[in-house]
Amino acid sequence: MDNYIIVGRKVDGGGAKYLHSDGDINADPTKDGAPGKALDVEFIGKTVVELSRGGPLDEDTPAYQEATELLRQSMAVVPMDQMHDLNDPMITKIHDKFRLRLQWDERSPDAEDGVDVNTRTLVIPVQDTLAEREAYFSSQANQPGYEPPLTYTLDLLMMKHFYDGLLDKALSEVQTAGVALTDETKAAIKAQVNANWADSTAINNDLSSEEEEEDPTRKSMARILSSPVSAFHRAVGIYITNMCD
């Protein structure tokens, strides 16, 4: 397998491992009846936010080694060929051998004039990794309507919830302005919009609340949809790893 990327694991991408209260990491969402923490891009983002609160960790410290291992387990090896067999044992072998390194950006005041001196680290991906993605997007027509890079199911659901609110507000304001809209008419309009949305995005079911969802993946998705902080952590995780699978 020559062409692949190593990126943060998508919240709803499957294959996640879970960190349990005793420190064990495995593929089971629960252990002894208690839910584990999903190791995915949201976890990556939350960990990065926590690490950014303190200074750099020495590579020889247990704290550094624990952080890098948890972040490593939160990432996935993803073949560039979307038709590649995801059960290919080489995927696991590559993941087992990959190592993760952390580096902190630096900021300190200049001794002479007190102006901050900043050092930012931009990591350039492995040769040709981005060229593969660029070639993929180059094959799409230059016109509105394409699916932008870094567009995921959760983002489409977030957008739907946002527009649901706008639609409800618009219908109420139109009715307030004197346009006769029965409850049946408003329900029919909303049903048609939802049907059109499902046709164009292949997303036809909403999530319940985090408490109501039973599946661990859907619970995570529901939490992110309702929690700005969780959504922020997910965004940090996606962008710091360039994307997610």
Residues with Cβ within 8 Å of residue 47, at least 6 apart in sequence: 67, 70, 71, 74
Closest of 216, 194, 201 to residue 154, by C-alpha: 201
Query: Can you tell me which residue has the tokens 């922020």?
Result: 232
Q: What confidence tens digit (pLDDT) does each residue in 81-92 have?
A: 888 998 999 999
Q: What is the pTM of this model?
A: 0.83
Give the integer Cα–Cα distance in Å for 97 and 40: 19
Give the integer Cα–Cα distance in Å for 151 and 204: 17
State residue 202's pLDDT score: 64
What region, left, alpha or beta, does residue 192 occupy, with left being phi > 0 and alpha being psi -120 to 50 degrees?
Answer: alpha
Which of the two residues, 208 and 61, has the higher pLDDT score? Answer: 61
Give the integer Cα–Cα distance in Å for 134 and 245: 16
Q: What confidence tens digit (pLDDT) does each residue in 162-213 have?
A: 888 899 898 888 888 888 888 899 889 988 888 887 777 666 566 788 888 8
Buried b (16+ CB within 10 A) or exposed e, 10-27: bbbbeebbbbbeeeeeee
